[in-house]
Structure 1
Amino acid sequence: MGEQAVKRAFKYRFYPTAEQADQLLRIFGCVRNVYNLALESRSRAWADERH
């Protein structure tokens, strides 16, 4: 009962090449689009259920 969890954090930094940076931007753009579509869907469903 008296045990405490040790919290650790690690920070990493990387320096992508120009090609990797382009790929990351494309991937994050797709992820943002999927997130926004899911959020819109959930918001619409919530609004429909309220009324």
Structure 2
Amino acid sequence: MTDSCPRCNRRDVPPRAERTDDTQTRSAYRCPACGHAWITSRLRSAYPAA
């Protein structure tokens, strides 16, 4: 899953690393445009498999 940079709003930034457990997916991002780094934690139940 891609994300948008919270600093410069660049879209479709791919995760650099992901970790998944029974309930969550944690993704680490770094924006290629401005270098900002952030982490998201998403509930797996909110993003059903396609």
- Give the TM interval when normalised to the shorter protein: under 0.3
TM-score normalised to the size of structure 1?
0.20
TM-score normalised to the size of structure 2?
0.20
- Greater RCO (Cα-Cα under 8 Å, separation 6 or more): 2
* Larger proportion of helix: 1
* Larger proportion of strand: 2
Q: Looking at CA atoms only, which structure, 1 or 2, has the larger radius of gyration?
A: 1
